[in-house]
A = this chain, B = another copy of it.
Amino acid sequence: MNARLVEIVERADTRAGRTFDLVVLALIVCSLVALSIETLPGLPEATTAALRLLEAVITVLFTVEYGMRLAAAERKWRYVFSFYGIVDLVAIVPFYVSLGGVDLLAVRAVRLFRVFHVLKVFRYSNALHRYRRALTLAREEILLFLLAAGILLYLSAVGIYYFEREAQPEHFQSILHSLWWAVATLTTVGYGDIYPVTTGGRVFTFVVLVCGLGIVAAPSGLIAAALSRAREEEREGRAQEPRPEDEQR
């Protein structure tokens, strides 16, 4: 019977395993939709009650799933302390805690991480592995760019504070307020709630953008380049690396 359980829970290449994964995925989506609707203001009492009932049912099913995964796992503690083991537990604990009256909004969002569990259905573990490998390959450059971006953000905030604090004291109150401008500008989001009005501030913004766009946009190019390198590596070295640790995840 245990072999059958393992087949259902851990494998994605049998019919039972795929059905199990799809049911879990459907439950996750249901749970997220219910969570989203619950936050809508002015819901009728009946809807709220129905959503709470649905939540209870889904949580019980997730508890059953957790038990099944635990039973199927060869090394119990390894599953409990694995990434997905923790996610699975965190996804059900808030409900039982909330029976005592605690707001569960913040913690329930963690359930979303369970989506990764179902990736096995689509056999994405290869792509996910490649992505991890790409991040490892480009780690140094990405960290350097993140550091450079951080320094650039801080310097931009100090600079714009220097130029704009007199013209717009309500928006550029301090360096911390100016940092918000720097974030919105260098990511090119540009909400428009805060922007320079002095000539000095505008010229400074221009200089910062010319220097900064390359730094802020570069990591995405680096990740794409590292991904193609990881893909080539994989093709060349497919025979050598058996990667047994991927099966657990």
A residues sitting closer than 8 Å to B (CB atoms) are 32, 35-37, 39-41, 105-106, 109, 112, 115, 119, 122, 124, 126-128, 130-131, 140-141, 143-144, 146-147, 149, 151, 154-155, 158-159, 161-162, 169, 173-176, 179-180, 183-185, 187-193, 195, 199, 202, 205-206, 209-210, 213-214, 216-225, 227-229
Contact = CB atoms under 8 A, between A and B. Distances in A.
Copies of this polypeptide in the complex:
4
Contact of A220 (B147, B179, B214): B214
A119 B190 CA distance: 31
A131 B187 CA distance: 21
Contact of A221 (B115, B189, B220): B220
A101 to B, nearest CB: 18
Contacts of A143: 122, 124, 127
Given A124-B140, A127-B144, A40 B162 contact: no
Contacts of A221: 220-221, 223-225
